[in-house]
Amino acid sequence: MPPRTAGRHNPDVTHYAILCAHRGLGYFAERTLEASASREAAIADIMAGQVEGVEKVFCFNPAEHIADDVTEEIAVEIANRLDPACPIRPELRDFIETNAGLDYAHGLAVDDRSFAAA
């Protein structure tokens, strides 16, 4: 039997893991290998609501032995892409406010009226 190989996985790729929470339990969002190796896919998944309860976003590269918390960078990037006139989900606004700050969340329209300022 021939020796087993690592397959098509390239270890010198930066992956993005999305840590979520639901009812007090933390888990990493299940995503394909291709999607996890794309910063753009992580941003798109969060913006589209494909992952819920996003707490943190981590990037890591096994070949370079690096790992970083990039939650703030991702939240800022999402906030900069949003049109302030288009309403967003309350969870997305909360993610931006918590991780990028109130300055980035200020002025964003929210779908749910219960989150609107009185």
Task: Give residue 55's pLDDT.
Answer: 96
Tens digit of each residue's pLDDT, the chain (118 residues): 554 433 466 778 899 999 999 998 999 999 988 889 899 999 999 999 999 999 999 999 999 999 999 999 999 999 999 998 899 999 999 999 999 999 999 888 888 655 445 5
Q: Which residue, 97, 109, 53, 103, is CA-closest to 45?
A: 53
- Give the predicted TM-score (pTM) of the model: 0.82
Instruction: Describe the crossing of helices 71-81 and 39-48 by its angle, rounded to 10 degrees.
Output: 60
Task: Give residue 28's pLDDT.
Answer: 93
Q: Which residue, 96, 68, 65, is CA-closest to 82?
A: 96
The 3-class SS string of the chain reads CCCCCCCCCCCCCCEEEEEEEECCEEEECCCCHHHHCCHHHHHHHHHHCCCCCEEEEEEEECCCCEEEECHHHHHHHHHHHCCCCCCECHHHHHHHHHHHCHHHHCCCCECCHHHCCC
